[in-house]
Amino acid sequence: MSAHIKILRQVLSKYSSPMTLNYPSGVNPDKKYSQIPEGLRGFIERDKEKCIGCRACYMVCSGRATKYFDVGDKRTIQVFHFRCTYCAHCEEGCPEEAIKMTKNFELTVTDRNDPKAYVNTELDMLTCKNCGKVFTPVKLEKRAFERLSDKINPRVKDVVIADFKKGEGYCMDCRRSRGVMMDAHTKKHVWLEVV
């Protein structure tokens, strides 16, 4: 009988003090399970200054949580938290390191259309000088040329940069059709490298 009383005392002793911890992370260092672990992948955070609108995050999103919308002269990249699987593929795939996984994982909203359920990034788009078509984000064109200009053969770099300036502000179709007229035909760079 004494063994039963001993077990009963042990069970009841657990209920004599509060059983709950502060949520989501308790402050008691002895109870490590209540702490947010290192490397926890929570909601994403996007740096709007660094984002160039390249859609790399959209292409690698395994949960199809990332979408983009081109409306007028704006591109909106949107992440829906309820679809996100927190796989961090978007963080790995972002060439500009504009996406970071945070330790924040709590989201309580009652409506799917609540703004807290989304991360939106809005970017300005370029409009073609010739045909008026909206074709690419402003930051994307600038950053792509910056990255490529570092890799251009120094012998033809000046000519390539001058040709880029001539075609700046034109969509791909207009650049292609007006390339010879603007003396910015891409084949001439191949000829210059051979010489």
pLDDT digits (tens, 9 = 90+) for 106-143: 777 888 888 888 999 999 999 999 899 999 999 998 99
pLDDT of residue 30: 61
Instruction: Specify the number of domains making up the chain.
Output: 1
Q: Which residues pair with 137 in a beta bridge?
A: 125
The answer to whether position 13 is within a domain reads no
- Rounded CA separation 122/139 (Å): 12
Sign of the CA dihedral with 47 first, then 136, 118, and 94 last: negative
pLDDT-based confidence at 28, cuts 50/70/90? low
The answer to whether position 4 is within a domain reads no
> DSSP label at 82?
T
How many beta carbons lie within 10 A of that of residue 30, not counting itself? 6
Residue range 155-166, pLDDT digits in tens: 878 888 888 888
CA torsion angle 122 88 55 164 (round to 10)? 100
The answer to whether position 22 is within a domain reads no
In three-state secondary structure terms, 45 is strand
| CATH, residue 115 | 3.30.70.3270
The answer to whether position 195 is within a domain reads no
